[in-house]
Structure 1
């Protein structure tokens, strides 16, 4: 029986996310319900949150990210004829179990074997709402990745790729290669991801990288050109939502009140508004 994952690996971020989602689920005014988050996070998720700078303060940002990406996934599936979702670096995500998805939808959750095995053990007996397939995949292995994308492309008609909380841990070259491989499959029409700005990366590196001891959990990707980065590889931004603005809309405080009071000047607000967000991309 699997009870833990490698210490100090990028997989730890999956435990953090699961615990944050459990905290949101247990709020009286929760933005979503993830009934499996607490069991997936376990004691490890709680200990990791306690060790993080700011502790539980990161839960608000995670809740907003989850809620906004839930909305965009459901809307894209419903309005754009998506028949396949490709969740890369899925971690301990439970959307196939909790979202009102079409039963005919194919959902591929891709991650390292040990992550998927742990998740399968914890969710044994729980039925997904769509056709779910777990795929062992190191997203940075270009040969294996290309082969898998080709296999999906042969059977799918309209694919939405999702990279939640993934790109920031990859190098610019790795993201460029991933974007190229996604675009190589004509059936891959949409791509949903979160994206940090270069200034946000510098801020995060000062506070977060010190708490992540593993080299594979280092924060890296935040292009100076923002969403224009993806245009070079065939992807155009069609919708961009600010984490800060979405936090206001959903009544979740992303920034501490002490910092918010310093953002009265429009130029300061604009800088922080652009620091992190969610982008829906469509192939040219």
Structure 2
């Protein structure tokens, strides 16, 4: 499994920790099963990062909440996860036709640990070699679907600007109208608050690329409309994950309060 793919273990570990807590926020009881022994061992290196872990939990919860609203309005929506990792939403949420796209090693691992036939919703898993195969070829069969929602979670910071641009070109070309949920981090937030957790990711071979001052600019340039932005520092406070006094939110985070955030974009809607 590639180094970036293994970061899925970190995200899964965060959800496992939440599921085993006294008051679960996400309640992903599939997370531990998806991790397996190798994943739990990987997660052990990240358990001590309290604030980044809280942010990861909040991120997943916020995207869960946005998807639930989409499914309430469009129960037959097609939900496509690019870089799906160890995501288990297809098993946990009601409604939707789900498509998970990721590296072959991730897909094989998921098929072995959490088979598709156990999913209550329609689910397809599609392996891809992102370095050799074209995302457009994998997505083409679904381009005619009436309501499509993309989830790109915990992925974009590992892509170059060229790769991000190429991905958005594929999405906007094949899907003239769609919804997109993702997380974006700007350069200021990365430099001030991500040092320790990023060093651990680096030790495991995962590298952030082309972190910019305005990571949403590429979306706007492609014609996306920004519907909402929810910053992680405020979210972890509001959700009760970590209480941050007002002066910390105002003076420590300040203008960077939305420096790492969940974004809701629409295209052609």
Fold-level match, TM-score > 0.5?
yes
Between 78-87 and 161-170, the greater mean CA deviation after superposition: 78-87
| Aligned equivalent of 1:277 | 261
Q: 2:157, 2:209 within 8 Å by CA — same for their partners in 1? A: yes
Contact 1:87 1:163 in 2 (8 A): yes
Tell me if the contact between 1:197 and 1:275 (Cα under 8 Å) persists in the aligned partners. yes
* 1:31 matched residue in structure 2: 25
Once the two structures are superposed, residues 168-218 of structure 1 have per-residue CA deviations (whole angstroms, 9 ceiling, x without a partner) of: 110111111111111002354111101111112224663234323479620
* Cα shift readout 1:24-62 (whole Å, capped 9, x = no counterpart): 011111112111111212333333233238345543122
8 Å CA contact retained: 2:126, 2:138? no
Which residue of 1 is the match for residue 140 of structure 2?
Answer: 150
Matched, 1:72 2:66: yes
Taking structure 1 as reference, are residues 227 and 125 closer, same or farther at Cα in structure 2, changes over 3 Å only?
closer
Query: Is the deviation greater in 213-222 or in 69-78?
Result: 213-222
The answer for the alignment partner of 1:87 in structure 2 is 81
Q: Determine if contact 2:4/2:205 at 8 Å carries over to the other structure.
A: yes
Shift of 1:129: 2.2
Q: 1:36 to 1:139 in 2, by over 3 A?
A: same
How many residues were matched structurally? 268
Structure 1, unaligned runs of 5 or more: none
Matches within 5 A, 1:1-284: 5=1, 9-52=3-46, 54-55=48-49, 58-79=52-73, 83-100=77-94, 102=95, 105-124=96-115, 127-139=118-130, 141=132, 144-154=134-144, 156-203=145-192, 206-213=195-202, 217-253=206-242, 263=248, 266=250, 268-284=252-268
Give secondary structure in 2 for the equivalent of 1:274: coil
Change (3 A) 1:139 1:191: farther
- In structure 2, stretches of 5+ residues that fail to align are none
- TM-score under structure 2 normalisation? 0.89
Let me know the Cα RMSD of the aligned residues.
Answer: 2.5
